[in-house]
């Protein structure tokens, strides 16, 4: 079993999807020295550190999701991985990747094209994204939970699920955010890092400090 096959085995993806993700891994290795898409020391472990770590978000999303927005997509994690899996399992998914760095947007668009993945890349700041509810909001290694919830407010509706991977400091971020937000969540253990979790935010609203 190859490293790619082992990393993706828990997610039941097809050979075609694995091929799309192999294209992503190759492009990342080619582009990363020029524009620093991910930490250079993690490129050799791309299948576990980035691709499988992103794939587990798709497994937590509602299977009937129709729209998904990924904030601060950077090197395409999780956005491009979500797109590759959705091409097989939910081809009607309306997927948007938001990234303010135009060089990274060029990578995202190029990678999506070469992977054969249908998605939209928005080259703008998150605050400038057109408001309206999406079924799923994701963000990886972007900001603290408190800030992420602020970004999510205009993009969330009653049925929206937020999926935010967090490291060993997740409990502290939840405590910090609780000063400003009412949050209903679940913390799912990460399948790629024993110290990490994926926070599934099921409901959130401004807390007492923001009431008028």
Domain ranges, ordered by start, for the chain: 3-210
pLDDT at 208: 54
- What pLDDT, on the 0 to 100 scale, is given for residue 211? 39
Residue 36's contacts (CB-CB under 8 Å, 6 or more residues apart) are: none
Is 127 labeled as ligand-binding?
Answer: yes
Residue with tokens 């993700």: 21
Note the pLDDT of residue 87.
Answer: 97
d(CA 42, CA 48): 9
DSSP letter at 154 equals: G
Q: How far apart are CA 80 and CA 104, in angstroms?
A: 12
Q: What are phi and psi of 97, to 5 degrees?
A: -110, 130
Is residue 158 within 8 Å of residue 201, measured between CB atoms? no
The model's pLDDT over 144-154, given as tens digits with 9 standing for 90+, comes to: 999 999 999 99
pLDDT tens string, the chain, 212 residues long: the values are 687 888 889 888 999 999 999 999 999 999 999 999 999 889 888 999 999 999 999 999 999 999 999 999 999 999 999 999 999 999 999 999 999 999 999 999 999 999 999 999 999 999 999 999 999 999 999 999 999 999 999 999 999 999 999 999 999 999 999 999 999 999 999 999 999 999 999 999 997 544 33
72 annotated among ligand-binding-site residues:
yes
- Read off the pLDDT of residues 86-105 as tens digits, 9 standing for 90 and up: 999 999 999 999 999 999 99
DSSP state, residue 38: S
Residue 126, annotated ligand binder?
A: yes
CATH classification for the domain delimited by 3-210, as one of 3.40.50.150, 3.40.50.2300, 3.40.190.10, 3.40.50.980: 3.40.50.150
DSSP structure class, residue 190: P
Structure tokens at 131: 């408001």
The answer to whether 77 is annotated as binding is yes
Type and span of the H or E element at 124: none
């Amino acid at each position: 079993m190859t490293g790619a096959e082992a990393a993706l085995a828990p997610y039941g993806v097809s050979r075609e999807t694995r091929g799309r993700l192999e294209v992503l891994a190759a492009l990342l290795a080619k582009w990363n020295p020029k524009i620093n898409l991910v930490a250079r020391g993690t490129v050799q472990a791309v299948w576990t550190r980035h691709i499988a770590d992103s794939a587990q978000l798709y497994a937590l999303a509602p299977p009937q999701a129709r729209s998904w927005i990924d904030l601060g997509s950077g090197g395409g994690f999780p956005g491009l991985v979500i797109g590759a899996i959705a091409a097989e399992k939910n081809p009607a998914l309306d997927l948007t990747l938001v990234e303010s760095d135009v060089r990274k947007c060029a990578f995202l668009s190029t990678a999506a094209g070469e992977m054969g993945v249908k998605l939209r890349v928005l080259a703008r700041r998150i605050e400038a994204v057109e408001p309206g509810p999406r079924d799923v909001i994701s963000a990886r290694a972007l900001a603290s939970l408190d800030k992420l919830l602020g970004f999510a407010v205009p993009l969330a509706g009653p049925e929206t699920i937020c999926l935010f991977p967090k490291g060993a400091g997740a409990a502290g971020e939840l405590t910090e955010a609780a000063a400003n937000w009412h949050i209903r969540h679940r913390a799912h253990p990460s399948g790629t890092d024993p110290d990490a979790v994926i926070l599934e935010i099921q409901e959130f609203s401004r807390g007492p400090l923001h009431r008028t």
